[in-house]
Amino acid sequence: MAGLLAYCRAGFEGDLANELQEKAAQLEIFGFARTKANSAFVLFDCYQPDDVELLARQLPLRDVIFSRQQFACLAVLDDLDPTDRISPILAACEAFPLCGDLRVEYPDTTEGRELSKFCRKFSVPLRQALRKAGKLTQKENPKKPVLFAFFTSGQQLFLGFAEPVSVSPHALGIMRLKTPAEAPSRSSLKLDEAIQIFLTPAEQESRFQPGMHGVDLGACPGGWTYQLVRRGLFVQSVDNGAMAPSLMETGQVRHFAEDGFKFRPKKKNVHWLVCDMVEQPVRVAKLMAEWVLEGWCKEAIFNLKLPMKRRFETVQQALQAIEGAMGSRAYQIQAKHLYHDREEITLHLRLKN
């Protein structure tokens, strides 16, 4: 058995499976997805074992919307002996390349989290054994592949590796953030995570500068506005509801009690448009494309609320709507089901220079 193993939020296995199936087929790599409801991971089995590493290279983590972390899985070990788990692991990874780091992880589920203590403890002797066997560098090497040992129980293990450019730096692929005390709502974390996922630290520094202007559509009570304000932006917050007084007191926010679909900025000095409106995904997608095309903003980060069923199909429809609106204009789009997202995904859209 050889395939691409990808983590996701529990309950989104079907959406991730559909996405992997489609994107692998676009690369002319064929196989089938093994899923189990609420397991928080999917194994896409390739019909040709040699295709696994090719798929892992050609389908990086950033291009898979519903994946939090993924690796080329080259071995599955069942019925591990609790008295000696290391020997079969060493035997299974004999043909692996020299790796520069080790991740011993588990699914992000109630049952999976019960393995966290075991994985943390087990990583110490496993790391030592892998170094002794010449499968792991003596010191961490960020230029080498990352070796993954993914436990689903004390007896079952998925083993593989990933190139460092396609590995989330966060444990389990989860960016954990604390809600700032001043933030008006927890939704604030969605935009904070999105900015850190979609932009490098250098890009954040150059494209979020004090004195820049932003617009927040569907802003009430101000969770997303807060993230722009704390980065020094002046914000036009658009919502018929009330904004948090703490934000209005900053002097950086102007509140417009208007419909987010009808609001237009008076000047073309807006760099960032952000939007977290509860509305039909295709309608929001078309609005975001219009803002970027008309030059009403330079970049947009926005959420699309997804139905309980056919989530991936809904995402495809929204992306097609943006593509249709953009016509011949070259643009860049990124999309991710973030840790702080629920039944929604977050996207970043801008025109290419």
The stretches of 59-167 forming alpha helices (DSSP H) are 86-92, 110-113, 116-132
Cis peptide before 221, with omega less than 30 degrees from 0? Answer: yes
What tokens were used for 70?
A: 């993924």
Superfamily holding 188-351: Vaccinia Virus protein VP39 (3.40.50.150)
Place of tokens 């991730």: 16
Which of 306, 277, 289, 299 lies closest to 348 in space, CA to CA?
299
Residue 232: what pLDDT? 98
39: CB partners within 8 A, 6+ apart = 10, 13, 107, 109, 152
Residue 325 contacts by C-beta under 8 Å, 6 or more apart in sequence? 286, 289, 290, 293
Distance in angstroms (rounded) separating the CA atoms of residues 159 and 152: 11
Instruction: Name the architecture of domain 3-173.
Output: 2-Layer Sandwich (3.30)
List the domain boundaries for the chain: 3-173, 188-351
Write out pLDDT tens, residues 98-148.
999 999 999 999 999 999 999 999 999 999 999 999 999 999 999 999 999
DSSP per position, 202-268: HHHHHHS-TT-EEEEET-TT-HHHHHHHTTT-EEEEE-SSPPPHHHHTTT-EEEE-S-TTT---SSS
Give the whole-angstrom CA distance, residue 13 versus residue 216: 32
pLDDT for 183-220, tens place per residue?
999 999 999 999 999 999 999 999 999 999 999 999 99
239 labeled binding residue: yes
Is the pLDDT score of 1 beyond 70? no
**What is the pTM assigned to this prediction?**
0.95
- The verdict on whether residue 214 carries a ligand-binding annotation is no
Q: Is the pLDDT of residue 244 over 80?
A: yes
Please count the residues of the chain: 353
What is the band of 54 on the pLDDT scale with cuts at 50, 70, 90?
very high
Q: Under DSSP, is residue 61 helix (H, G, I), strand (E, B) or coil?
A: helix
DSSP of 134-158: TSB-SS--TTSPEEEEEESSSS-EE
- DSSP secondary structure letters along 170-208: SGGG----PPPTT-SSTTHHHHHHHHHHHS-HHHHHHHS
Phi-psi region of 158 (alpha: psi -120 to 50; beta: other; left: phi over 0): beta
Region 68-76: mean pLDDT is 98
Given a cut of 90, is residue 2 above it in pLDDT?
no
Judge contact between 242 and 220, C-beta under 8 A. Answer: yes
Q: What is the mean pLDDT of residues 283-295?
A: 98
Instruction: Please check whether residue 235 is in contact with residue 243, taking contact to mean a CB–CB distance below 8 angstroms.
Output: no
Tell whether 276 is in a known binding site. Answer: yes
pLDDT for the residue 353:
79
Q: Name the DSSP letter for residue 130.
A: H
Q: Can you read off the two tokens belonging to residue 30?
A: 């064929």
Q: What is the largest CA-CA distance in the chain?
A: 70
Condensed to tens digits (0 to 9), the pLDDT of residues 316-338 reads: 999 999 999 999 999 999 999 99
Distance CA 94, CA 58 (A): 24
Could you give the residue numbers annotated as active site? 305
Residue 119, annotated as binding a ligand: no
Residue 266 has pLDDT above 90, yes or no: no
Q: Side chain identity at 4, as an amino acid letter?
A: L
Residue 187 assigned to a binding site: yes
Task: Please say whether the beta carbons of 287 and 261 come within 8 A.
Answer: yes
Average pLDDT in the chain: 97
Cα–Cα distances (Å) from 24 to 46, 52, 73, 79, 319, in that order, read 9, 10, 15, 31, 18
Which pLDDT does position 236 carry in this prediction? 98
- Structure tokens of 175? 């960016």
